[in-house]
Amino acid sequence: MRKLSVWRVIKSGWQGFIRNYWLSTATVAVMVLALFMLGCLALFNVMTQAVVANLEGRVDVSVYFNQDTEEAKVLGVRQELVALSEVKSVDYVSQDEALKRFSERHKDNAVLMQSLQELDQNPLQPSLNIKANYASQYETIANYLNDERFKGMIDRVNYKQNKDLIERLTSLTGNIQTAGIVISLVLGLIAALVSFNTIRLTMYTWRDEISVMRLVGASNWFVRGPFVVEGVIYGVVSGVMALLLMYPMLYFVSPKITNFLPGVDLMYFYQANFWEFFFLLVAVGLLLGGTSSLIAIRRYLKD
């Protein structure tokens, strides 16, 4: 009998959804927009992450060693640096490598090349190019390299010159991320409130029916159930529709963003994470629809 009731409640909720298709369409339309916005916000955050990573990837710190430092010692330092959790990668540039890069870059400058040839030895220093995971970590790495035991071999660390740039970048990326989160929260809240109010209005149209159901002897649970089922259906249908709506949107927008920010392919990201998006939108829709109905119906159950 319990199972029978559950089945009846679900059937009744489904019937309500189908039979009042006009009302359902209006409610679903609003929820689709809200969930669509949520999906866009998720992609927007992916984009800001990519921008931040892109900016941070352009910064590095170079350590220049004295010319007479043995290669083994430089590689030893490299080992140590790689072991640090802040360090993402360390590239070793030997004297020969540095010379090769230098001549490559200045091959059109005859004067420079000539003066280089007149020197009987390589004037360049071996160096390590360090990339940190986050821009804010360069300070720690630079401090690490200031240690007493490196004094003899390290000529200079170019952190000081880059310091200003790095600090500005750190605060910029921090701001971009904070702004992303704040915007997401505000718009997400608006989306939730709009959906909630729409469902509340839908339930408002049923207030007379609800009193009838009670008079006929339906328990509160039996009155509430179908409306919650209906709300859940609104949410799931809206979630799926918002998910599908993302495709044409990305089809047009994604190439433009890739032009603007090379390496950011939102369409690819969306397709690769399709199921994550599916669960995000459908689960949010389901929860939003279900709880909105539950809260909205509560008013009419108490006279």
Partner 1 sequence: MAGPSGAGKSTIFKLLIGEEQPSRGKVFLDKQNIHLIRENELHHLRRKMGMVFQDFRLLSDRTVYENVAFAMEVAGSSNKEIVQDVPQILELVGLPDKLSAFPSQLSGGEKQRVAIARALIHRPSVILADEPTGNLDLLNTWDIVRLLLKINELGTTIVLATHDREVINNLSKRVVTLDKGRIIRDEENGRYIL
Binding site for partner 1 (CB under 8 A): 1, 4-5, 8, 15-16, 19-20, 208-209, 211-220, 222, 303
CB atoms within 10 A of CB 130: 27
CB of 214 to partner 1, least distance (A): 7
Cα 274 → chain centroid: 14
Whichever of 12 and 173 has its CB closer to partner 1, that residue is 12
Whichever of 217 and 248 has its CB closer to partner 1, that residue is 217
- Nearest-angstrom CA–CA distance, 177 and 186: 14
Whichever of 9 and 286 has its CB closer to partner 1, that residue is 9
DSSP 136: G
CB of 236 to partner 1, least distance (A): 21
Cα 269 → chain centroid: 11
- Nearest-angstrom CA–CA distance, 156 and 63: 6
Whichever of 118 and 303 has its CB closer to partner 1, that residue is 303
Whichever of 19 and 106 has its CB closer to partner 1, that residue is 19
Strand order across the beta sheet in which 87-93 lies: 87-93, 127-132, 61-65, 154-157
CB of 202 to partner 1, least distance (A): 13
* C-alpha distances in Å from residue 262, one per residue of 47, 61, 81, 220: 11, 24, 30, 57
Amino acid (one-letter) located at 201: L
CB of 174 to partner 1, least distance (A): 53
CB of 226 to partner 1, least distance (A): 11
- Under a CB-based contact definition with an 8 Å cutoff, are residues 159 and 144 in contact? no
